[in-house]
């Protein structure tokens, strides 16, 4: 007997950005069986028993502040960075066109000028009451669910990094937040918070794939818990940090004393341009840096730097140098260079997160999904940073989930 | 109440080689508390409950075919490779002198000329009966145990790589082996087999830290099992292969398709010189190569090359290039360079293996010690090559061992 | 007054190989002004006064042993290695079609099986007299010149590496060569020699861009000198060796003592597959290795290795590790990784060589063109290997050439 | 007939710093023929005809603000960074002791706190008239010359990087400078200027091996020209920039279009600590960056970053990534890692500069020594940055010098 399938909405914040458009192209190409699910964790045999949503079960929509369409975005990425095949883009044109119809103008607050350029599809920016902007965003999500007859919608934040404005620390509980949404203007909240609030309001699950604060503002998180939505974050672990989370434990398991671990990252897409803003760069670096001390069981000198290099476009090159001491006082070193295309690495993980979140929703879960820690640089609530320990967590979840009999 | 301590003999085959002499210096320096146990796995807090042997409990001796003393060997290593502190060597002079008195001439068969040069402390080389050479070697071990009033002796093979002569495959059981030891000359056996047989005969535990066949010749292993000794091997996992065993699983867990994984190793110590012999190099490469397919769950193009570069002396530089495919057909790559001092990396693991073997002997164990798989490139019997899975095996052992109440 | 232009034939041996087809595409694209001459040395302002041939003056033809067309070859390269733009290939389709009409079946001797596979356009392979094969090849070249009304033809050897068969050393002069061409079969000569002889016979200039012996067999070179043709070789200096030829002099000028210089090359095109044949690999390695001692003024341990890694296709990755001693006995090191697309690097140099050879022919030159040394790994007759010294040679030529008033 | 020898004083500003003490050890070791002059440019055969000063002709003294002696400094460097041999230090103890007697307290102005720590041998810091500090410093130099019966003294600035205080730009000529030295306090001048003025006053030659302004303040340079002293600078070209100055021209000569050139430097000595001061880092980066545009003939995105990593001590690791475009629009890349010991690389060049400066003085030269451009990151007056072009300049000088018959 065929299992009941659920129709799942995928609502991307920053839908036509590099990662967002790659997610869209990926879902289209998977749906038409034009590609194999290389790079998708949930396509591993371990996950088969969960019978996760198939690409054909997913309907894509989202918010976007720029006029560039999904089709244009992937073509631009192809031309600038040499990623994707031109033929593949052409084969997916119709699917991308269908998704495009589901994209709505977004909000934009507290961002550097480089992001503001070309952002011509904005809403609610100068609303005197932030709550009004949240309402508008939530209506877009709810309308999408209704129009597409979806069983559930998963909202994924893929918008560019932002800085966190001051004056939010005092919002310690749901009540104060409520008042602030009425009393303060849109501009006094980071965009990621407005979107998170909208997702909660619309009863959607929420994933934060960026280092922005989003749902992690305590008052917002409180509201999410009250509403009983599923959520996870933050900052997708795609490259350098992923490697750190397997190499770091190696040094620890061998009792080699890491003296310093230097990371230098160069990248050229809009994410990189945004990181030229020092306040935003600081947040990103903190997210990349965190974890090494936990892994190594000692504090370690670990400067991380990020440089915007336009010619690289979507390519992200990371050079790491590990200086360590071995037996009898001898100092040795290891270095690695990682050359990855950012959206190619991120997109399949986003699809993984959507599938696993839909499954958790189906299973009746709520709150923070700790089993998704291995997908994030700064996993919420979960202290362990060793990728293998995080992986064990996920495998345990799969096992428990099967025992439950939950699928879908 | 103070726990009973055991006095453990450490019998090193190739005692004054680069690794052997570093083990000796390390035990001396630890015994006098001149260094911290950096690089020793068993110095991690996880192992505290086992109350493993302390450096002061260990007495070093061994076989050596060259006239160089332990003190000379470590000084030469210091001068040629810049490893160890000169002051440390001086402080350990007396200890090294004491160990030196326990070193006996060894056997040498089936090796390239580069090894034969300077090998002036040989025994039994042209004995018409291989069994006589085994007897002589076993007597050295037994005499050491008696003279030093040791509770137990652990034999560790640290001799240079050797090729395996033909004509051994037919020795399928203990009986045929018995006959061959009488009928064949010393030269018809690889040295590593003669030493393994001697260890068995003398009732010692046996560790094979090299890629030589040693105890793994089926007929010899049968004899070891009958005799009930503890053993493990083979080929210490010190550098490039260690990294492969944590990075490989990362690619697998992320479902990234490794297209090729190239490894190029350059090194300059006697081990490297020996590897200029093509037959020996082939064996070493096989040992380094194996495992990647198991880890990645697919066969992969993984050429490994080794080059002898005299100026590097004890330094081993490995460059690995991983070419992989990600989502939507995009090819990416990662490369690393590892610059490690071979004996510095190997010596603490040898001490770990001695301590863990002594513990297993104390505990009444016998046969192949599968829980030691994480220390070897080609662990006996154990299929998993992911370092983390091997580590879990070791941690399970520690847990079980505690439950037993075994210590020492 | 407009200068008289010459119509120059470009006769490529191995026309539809990776480099040959990239040369064809490049000439087509330059002729239609679709690309800028990036990577072409002769497009630098220094060469302007020479008024070298323009792409529109060049007519492409050649010998090819495989059925793949130029258009198919560049499309395959695009798909396998991600090089060229698909749009560019489409725009050049007509030009490539025109060139295709000028391509004739070639000869193939003394090659490994990997080259023989798919070689279905062969001529004269089992001719009992090698001279007959030479005549046939020369007729192709002469017919091309006549049919296209060309002022001159430059033959460029771009065929895969080959081994040099024994029994050629005794051909010490033109007379013996003459006899051998009658008495010996085609198979007793390497293909590169047959082509070189054909070029001489047809009165064409000759460039050897490969490590094959070609015109450098003494008896053949004698014949070339007698015939008064212009020639140069051998083995295009495109990547790792180019870097060595600028980094090596740096160490020399700073009196830093290079202890060892290790080079490891991985590549995946047919050239790489051919190099799996040990005899051929040895020749290539010798060509790559030579020069370092000359540059450093001392013999140096410089192992070079080459590995065929199919997944890389046209990409050639080279890792070099330089171990050197500085002041006060301190050892330091430098390493580099070069990631280049072989045909992309080679093709513009081939066009440079054609333009400069046509110019030298126009100027009335004959014999070995020493000023082209900077283009080759093993420049004929020229001892200096420092790229800058070779460059000075070229610049001097440009200056002298201008003084002569020669252009074209 | 034996040539007349001159006795040359070597006056090091920052004598007991890492570079200064290595220069002292080097001169001592060369004088006693304990080492070979590896790393010294002037030890190449090209320079033999100049009969430059021998180590035995050099007498070392200098200014130092810290109490650490030369002998302590080299021992500390050995222990922290593993450079030099302990035995060599011991053999040179007497020579170093002799030099130590010639060391005088220095001045310190406009520096970050990290430099001020431990600076306990200061003079004239709060002198109300900067000119008085200059006088004191000049007297030290003159007294050294008299006491040691020296023919000439060469002053070399090896002090840590400093920032340039504002308010100096208005000192446009010698007269205004004169007034400022009377009217302004010591603190209103950078230390490097005070030392340069002292060298001029004392009639010494002057070399600026650091990025500090020193003699390049226009009014100071005017004074140096009037006084007719020989000088050169600035910022010794020891590592990453040296490589850029040979690799950059390679890309230019091959007409490859460099899209971006990223340099990341990590280092751990006091120089590195000083660079944690953003103002000082900016100056250093500017010095490292400059030149690439000149070499490549185009402006290029070339971010340079420097990070202080204490564990590296004297070791300086530079990673450079070069992204470039080749023929037919294909993008490729090259990267290198340089692992050098800073003082080991710098010290022999300092000795070279002393020998060549003494020679120029002997020859009657005056003013800026343009032929020394190849030794500096930012050579005074000389536009060319290609190391080979700079080298040609030096070789021309050697040739001209020989023609003159000048030696010494």
Judged by a CB distance cut-off of 8 A, whether residue C347 touches chain D is yes
CA dist D58 and D41 (Å) reads 17
Q: What is the CA radius of gyration of chain C?
A: 21
| Nearest-Cα residue of chain C relative to residue B321 | C317
Q: What is the mean pLDDT of residues B210-229?
A: 94
**Does the beta-carbon distance from A344 to B337 stay under 8 Å?**
no
Which pLDDT tens digit goes with each residue over B265-280?
A: 999 877 777 777 777 7
Judged by a CB distance cut-off of 8 A, whether residue D23 touches chain C is no
B33 pLDDT above the threshold of 80 = yes
Judged by a CB distance cut-off of 8 A, whether residue C339 touches chain D is yes
Q: Which residues contact D94 (CB under 8 A, 6 or more apart)?
A: none
| Nearest-Cα residue of chain D relative to residue B335 | D335
Identify the pLDDT of residue C118: 74
Given C88, C327, C374, which is nearest D38 (Cβ)?
C327
Which pLDDT tens digit goes with each residue over B331-353?
A: 999 999 999 999 999 999 999 99
Which pLDDT tens digit goes with each residue over C318-358?
A: 999 999 999 999 999 999 999 999 999 999 999 999 999 99
8 Å CB contact between D316 and D342? yes
Judged by a CB distance cut-off of 8 A, whether residue B319 touches chain A is no
**Does the beta-carbon distance from B82 to D82 stay under 8 Å?**
yes
Which pLDDT tens digit goes with each residue over B140-168?
A: 999 999 999 999 999 999 998 887 766 77
CA dist D282 and D289 (Å) reads 10
Enter the tokens of residue B123.
């025994």
State the CATH class of domain D240-340. Answer: alpha beta
Which pLDDT tens digit goes with each residue over C50-97?
A: 999 999 999 999 999 999 999 999 999 999 999 998 899 999 999 999
> Looking at chain D from residue 50 to 79, which residues have their Cβ under 8 Å from any Cβ of chain B?
none
pTM equals: 0.95
Identify the pLDDT of residue D137: 95
**Does the beta-carbon distance from C327 to D254 stay under 8 Å?**
no
Backbone angles phi, psi at A396, to 5 degrees: -60, -40
How many angstroms away from the CA of D222 is the closest CA of chain C?
Answer: 32
Name chain A contacts of B90, Cβ cutoff 8 Å: none
Enter the tokens of residue A192.
């990621």
Identify the pLDDT of residue A139: 97
How many angstroms away from the CA of A339 is the closest CA of chain B?
Answer: 5
Confidence band, pLDDT 50/70/90 cuts, at residue A187: confident
Judged by a CB distance cut-off of 8 A, whether residue B83 touches chain A is yes
- Burial of residue C175 (CB within 10 Å: 0-12, 13-18, 19+) is exposed
Q: In what order do the strands lie in the sheet with B230-233?
A: B103-105, B58-64, B8-13, B152-157, B205-208, B230-233, B367-368
Confidence band, pLDDT 50/70/90 cuts, at residue C162: confident
Instruction: Give the distance between the most distant pair of CA atoms in chain D.
Output: 69
Which pLDDT tens digit goes with each residue over A331-343?
A: 999 999 999 999 9
Query: Chains touching chain A at 3 or more Cβ pairs under 8 angstroms?
Result: B, C, D
How many angstroms away from the CA of B338 is the closest CA of chain C?
Answer: 12
| Nearest-Cα residue of chain D relative to residue A332 | D312
Query: Chains touching chain C at 3 or more Cβ pairs under 8 angstroms?
Result: A, B, D
H-helix or E-strand containing A233? strand A230-233
Confidence band, pLDDT 50/70/90 cuts, at residue C363: very high
Cis peptide leading into residue B234 (ω within 30°): yes
Choosing among B254, B323, B339, B346, which should be mutated to test the A contact, i.e. which has the most A CBs within 10 A?
B254
CA angle B172-B164-B302, nearest 5°? 110
Cα distances from A184 to residues A64, A107, A219, D235, in angstroms, run 24, 16, 15, 55
CA dist B83 and A237 (Å) reads 37
Query: Chains touching chain D at 3 or more Cβ pairs under 8 angstroms?
Result: A, B, C
Query: Chains touching chain B at 3 or more Cβ pairs under 8 angstroms?
Result: A, C, D
Enter the tokens of residue A19.
């990662």
408 residues of chain D, pLDDT tens digit each: 455 789 999 999 999 999 999 999 999 999 999 999 999 999 999 999 999 999 999 999 999 999 999 999 999 999 999 999 889 999 999 999 999 999 999 987 766 677 777 777 877 666 778 999 999 999 999 999 999 999 999 999 999 888 776 677 778 788 889 999 999 888 888 899 999 999 999 999 999 999 999 999 999 999 999 999 999 999 999 989 999 999 999 999 999 999 999 999 999 877 777 777 777 777 767 766 668 888 998 889 999 988 999 999 999 999 999 999 999 999 999 999 999 999 999 999 999 999 999 999 999 999 999 999 999 999 999 999 999 999 999 999 999 988 776 555
Q: What is the mean pLDDT of residues A380-407?
A: 89
A1 pLDDT above the threshold of 50 = no
Where does C193-288 show beta strands of DSSP type E? 205-208, 230-233, 257-267
- The fraction of chain C above a pLDDT of 70, given in percent, is 94
8 Å CB contact between D220 and D177? yes
B87 pLDDT above the threshold of 70 = yes
> Looking at chain B from residue 185 to 204, which residues have their Cβ under 8 Å from any Cβ of chain D?
none
Confidence band, pLDDT 50/70/90 cuts, at residue A206: very high
Secondary structure class of A274 (helix, strand, coil): helix
Where does D237-330 show beta strands of DSSP type E? 257-267, 304-308, 315-325
C1 pLDDT above the threshold of 50 = no
How many angstroms away from the CA of D406 is the closest CA of chain C?
Answer: 23
Secondary structure class of C137 (helix, strand, coil): helix
Instruction: Look at chain B and count its residues.
Output: 408
Among candidate residues A308, A241, A244, the one with its CA nearest the CA of residue A276? A308
DSSP string covering B75-115: HHHHHHH--S-HHHHHHTHHHHHHHHTTEEEB---S--HHH
Given B22, B35, B327, which is nearest A344 (Cβ)?
B327
Complex ipTM value: 0.95
Judged by a CB distance cut-off of 8 A, whether residue D6 touches chain C is no
Secondary structure class of D29 (helix, strand, coil): helix
How many CB atoms lie under 10 A from the CB of residue B382? 18
| Nearest-Cα residue of chain C relative to residue B303 | C307
| Beta strands B58-64; B8-13: pairing state | parallel
Topology adopted by domain B240-342: Dihydrodipicolinate Reductase; domain 2 (3.30.360)
**Does the beta-carbon distance from D323 to A311 stay under 8 Å?**
yes
Among candidate residues D140, D141, D105, the one with its CA nearest the CA of residue D124? D105
Backbone angles phi, psi at B331, to 5 degrees: -95, 135
**Does the beta-carbon distance from B321 to C317 stay under 8 Å?**
yes
Judged by a CB distance cut-off of 8 A, whether residue C337 touches chain D is yes
Judged by a CB distance cut-off of 8 A, whether residue C116 touches chain D is no
How many angstroms away from the CA of B39 is the closest CA of chain A?
Answer: 5
- The fraction of chain B above a pLDDT of 70, given in percent, is 94
Confidence band, pLDDT 50/70/90 cuts, at residue C3: low
Name chain B contacts of D82, Cβ cutoff 8 Å: 82
Given D311, D321, D337, which is nearest A323 (Cβ)?
D311
Instruction: Indicate the average pLDDT of chain C.
Output: 91
Domain residue ranges in chain A = 8-236+344-404, 240-340
H-helix or E-strand containing B11? strand B8-13
Identify the pLDDT of residue D127: 72
Q: What is the dihedral of CA B167, B168, B171, B172, to 10 degrees?
A: -110
Secondary structure class of C231 (helix, strand, coil): strand
**Does the beta-carbon distance from B326 to A333 stay under 8 Å?**
no
8 Å CB contact between D202 and D145? yes
**Does the beta-carbon distance from D305 to A307 stay under 8 Å?**
yes
Choosing among D269, D312, D316, D328, which should be mutated to test the A contact, i.e. which has the most A CBs within 10 A?
D312
Identify the pLDDT of residue B1: 42
Do domains A8-236+344-404 and A240-340 share one topology? The answer is no
Dihedral sign computed on CA atoms, order D182, D186, D187, D189? positive
The conformation of residue B330, written as its DSSP 8-state character, comes to -
How many angstroms away from the CA of A263 is the closest CA of chain C?
Answer: 18
Cα distances from A93 to residues A18, A381, B209, B327, B330, in angstroms, run 17, 41, 59, 18, 19
A40 pLDDT above the threshold of 50 = yes
Judged by a CB distance cut-off of 8 A, whether residue C317 touches chain B is yes
| Nearest-Cα residue of chain B relative to residue A329 | B84
Which pLDDT tens digit goes with each residue over A110-152?
A: 666 777 777 778 876 667 789 999 999 999 999 999 999 999 9
Backbone angles phi, psi at C45, to 5 degrees: -55, -30
Task: Report how far Cα D339 is from the mean position of its chain's Cα atoms.
Answer: 20
How many angstroms away from the CA of B25 is the closest CA of chain D?
Answer: 19
Topology adopted by domain D8-236+344-404: Rossmann fold (3.40.50)
Which pLDDT tens digit goes with each residue over C218-248?
A: 999 999 999 999 999 999 999 899 999 999 9
Judged by a CB distance cut-off of 8 A, whether residue D373 touches chain C is no
Judged by a CB distance cut-off of 8 A, whether residue B86 touches chain D is yes
Enter the tokens of residue B324.
């992989």
CA dist D168 and D197 (Å) reads 14
**Does the beta-carbon distance from B339 to A334 stay under 8 Å?**
yes
Instruction: Indicate the average pLDDT of chain A.
Output: 91
- The fraction of chain A above a pLDDT of 70, given in percent, is 94
Q: What is the mean pLDDT of residues A27-56?
A: 97
Among candidate residues B315, B338, D375, the one with its CA nearest the CA of residue C323? B315
Name chain B contacts of A340, Cβ cutoff 8 Å: 326, 332, 334
Backbone angles phi, psi at D331, to 5 degrees: -95, 135
Given C260, C307, C331, which is nearest B309 (Cβ)?
C260
B2 pLDDT above the threshold of 60 = no
8 Å CB contact between C30 and C55? yes
Architecture of domain C240-341: 2-Layer Sandwich (3.30)
**Does the beta-carbon distance from D331 to A311 stay under 8 Å?**
yes
How many angstroms away from the CA of A342 is the closest CA of chain D?
Answer: 17
| Nearest-Cα residue of chain B relative to residue D82 | B82
């Amino acid at each position: 007997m065929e299992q009941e399938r659920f129709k799942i909405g995928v609502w991307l914040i920053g839908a036509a950005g590099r990662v967002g458009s790659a997610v869209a192209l990926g879902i289209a190409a998977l749906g038409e069986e034009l590609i194999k699910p290389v790079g998708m964790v949930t396509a591993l045999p371990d996950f088969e028993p969960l019978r996760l949503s198939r690409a054909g079960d997913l309907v894509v929509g989202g918010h976007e502040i720029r006029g560039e369409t999904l089709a244009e975005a992937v073509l631009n990425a192809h031309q600038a960075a040499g990623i994707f095949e031109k033929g593949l883009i052409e084969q997916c044109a119709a699917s991308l066109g269908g998704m495009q119809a589901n994209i709505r103008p977004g909000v934009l607050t507290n961002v550097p000028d480089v992001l503001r350029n070309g952002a011509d599809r904005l809403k609610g920016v100068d609303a005197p009451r932030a709550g009004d902007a949240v309402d508008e965003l939530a209506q877009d999500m709810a309308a999408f669910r209704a129009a597409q007859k979806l069983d559930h919608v998963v909202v994924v934040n893929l918008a560019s990094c932002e800085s966190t404005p001051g004056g939010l620390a005092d919002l310690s509980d749901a009540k104060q937040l409520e008042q602030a949404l009425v009393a303060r203007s849109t501009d006094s909240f980071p965009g990621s918070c407005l979107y998170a609030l909208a997702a909660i309001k619309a009863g959607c699950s929420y994933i934060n794939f960026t280092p922005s604060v989003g749902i992690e503002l305590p008052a917002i998180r409180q509201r999410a818990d009250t509403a009983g939505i599923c959520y996870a974050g933050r900052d997708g672990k795609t490259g350098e940090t992923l490697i750190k989370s397997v190499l770091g434990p190696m040094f620890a398991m061998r009792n080699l004393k890491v003296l310093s671990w230097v990371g230098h990252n160069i990248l050229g897409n809009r994410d990189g341009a945004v990181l030229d803003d020092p306040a935003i760069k600081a947040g990103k670096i903190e997210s990349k840096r965190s974890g090494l001390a936990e892994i190594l069981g000692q504090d370690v000198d670990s400067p991380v730097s990020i440089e915007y290099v336009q010619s690289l476009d979507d390519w992200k090159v990371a050079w790491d140098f590990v200086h360590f001491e071995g037996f009898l006082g001898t100092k040795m070193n290891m270095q690695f260079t990682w050359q990855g295309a950012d959206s190619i690495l991120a997109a399949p993980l986003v699809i993984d997160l959507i599938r696993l979140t839909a499954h958790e929703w189906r299973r009746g879960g709520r709150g923070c999904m700790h089993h998704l820690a291995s997908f994030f640089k700064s996993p919420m609530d979960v202290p362990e940073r060793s990728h293998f320990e995080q992986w064990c967590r996920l495998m345990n979840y799969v096992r428990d989930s099967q025992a439950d009999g939950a699928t879908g």
